[in-house]
Amino acid sequence: MANVIVIGAQWGDEGKGKITDLLSRSADVVVRYQGGANAGHTIVAQGQTLKLHLIPSGILYPETECIIGSGTVIDPKILIEELDRLEALEIPTDHLLISETAHITMPYHRLIDRASEEQRGTHRIGTTGRGIGPTYADKSERTGIRVVDLIDPVVLAKKLRWTIAYKNQILEKLYNLPPLDADAIVAEYQGYADRLRPHVVDCSLRIYEAIQARRNILFEGAQGTLLDLDHGTYPYVTSSNPVAGGACIGAGIGPTMIDRVIGVAKAYTTRVGEGPFPTEIDGDLGEHLCDRGAEFGTTTGRKRRCGWFDAVIGRYAVRINGMDCLAITKLDVLDDLDEIRVCVAYEIEGQRCHHFPSDAHRFAQCRPVYETLPGWKQSTTGCRTLDDLPRKALDYLKFLAELMEVPIAIVSLGASRDQTIIVEDPIHGPKRALLSSNGVEESGMSSLTR
């Protein structure tokens, strides 16, 4: 029995969907613990490409319970569209469960998200426009509508009427938008409730009972460490906690129930939306990575900004998440480069800096210090073991593992399940040890670093 958290170690889109799908093979329960329809997780299996926003990436395994946890925000319209798409493909969905304490994204959340971005002008965050920030803001302000409210027609009508009257004032007076029709929205959401009601459960209790029955639980993060509300590149972040610590709150379990944290990082870096990005590559090379990596947002279709691997944020992600091992994805995207750069430190005001600065202003001033490695100029997409990899690709991976001080357990070389090298068992294999038994600090060890 092992309970593992899978998190994004960069700014999202690291390939969490592919890795979660792979690991779900040995999971009894998969829990999405935060975020909402801003996420876009891609799974390529049996020649089919699935793009999931709210449904956990374990859904292809009919025996695996998939739970949308308490820490998420659910747009029921998008969730039902997703269910319909899966059902049209004859993929069973009755093993999908929804936490009764997750919050519901409403039409006013989407409108306020887009209108506030417009008003921010050059200060915009570059959100997905899916109403995520406003839904979480209502949760904190204690005016949110939860799944339990949605599925009770009397409570829903009462709460929505009051909330819509309040939100209409904001829409009209602050954003100059027409008011919303409360009756129409109540009717629309009661329809969604009827469809979703059979899936609703007490998520925390369900997970606790699964743990007591010694079942394997996988907690699936959305977004990434640098988009974390508390620990990311604030204010250019999302409004939830994608970091591993968020899994306990978002699932309703205690930290003692977690056995392992697996990070997912691309062999380079991407970012969608605004905000500083020290290793961003401008010009032809950036375009080349974007084309080869098909770096267009799964949710919004926006072009992702591309850059070199940043080991400073990598190390930060190892620390903030207590990461035990790492999956490196999209190594194949680097196949035809002459040389590859890795950011090993930053320079700020002439000083070397090895730690991620939490001050956004300072972070924007960071200049990357690079080390350059030779490219391998050879296709890796058909490699299935470390021995199949070109020597220089292996050297690149070793360099990353040593810099981040974490074992690399998985290497991904293409979007489909089989395009993967399992270096070590990511769930039961060696993990990162902070202190050895004699109290001496150890670095990450794996067959890539030994």
- The nearest distance, CB 13 to ligand IMO, in angstroms, is 4
Active-site position among 41, 95, 103, 199: 41
Number of residues that bind ligand IMO (CB under 6 A): 24
Residues at the contact surface with ligand GDP, assessed by CB under 6 A? 8, 12-18, 40-42, 44, 294, 298, 329-330, 332-333, 412-415
Tell me if residue 109 is catalytic. Answer: no
Q: Which is nearer to ligand GDP, 69 or 144 (CB)?
A: 69
Residue 415's binding partner among ligand GDP, ligand IMO, Mg ion, none (Cβ under 5 to 8 angstroms by kind) is ligand GDP
C-alpha to C-alpha distance for 35 and 223, rounded to whole angstroms: 7
The answer to whether residue 13 is catalytic is yes
The yes or no reply on residue 50 touching ligand IMO (CB under 6 A) is no
Min CB(199)–ligand IMO separation in Å: 21
Rule CB under 6 A: choose which of 43, 79, 111, 227 binds ligand IMO. 227
Phi, psi of 295 (to 5 degrees): -85, 75
413 binds, among ligand IMO, ligand GDP, Mg ion, none (CB under 5 to 8 A by kind): ligand GDP
Interface pick for Mg ion out of 298, 321, 420, 449 (rule CB under 5 A): 298
Choose, from 13, 21, 28, 324, the residue flagged as catalytic.
Answer: 13
18 binds, options Mg ion, ligand GDP, ligand IMO, none, Cβ within 5 to 8 A by partner type:
ligand GDP
3 makes contact, choosing from ligand IMO, ligand GDP, Mg ion, none, with CB < 5 to 8 Å by partner type, with none
* Structure tokens given for 305: 């900004």
The answer to whether 266 contacts ligand IMO (rule: CB under 6 A) is no
Question: Which residues form the interface with ligand IMO (CB under 6 A)?
Answer: 8, 12-13, 38-41, 125-128, 130, 132-133, 222-224, 227, 236, 238-239, 272-273, 298
Which residues are designated catalytic? 13, 41
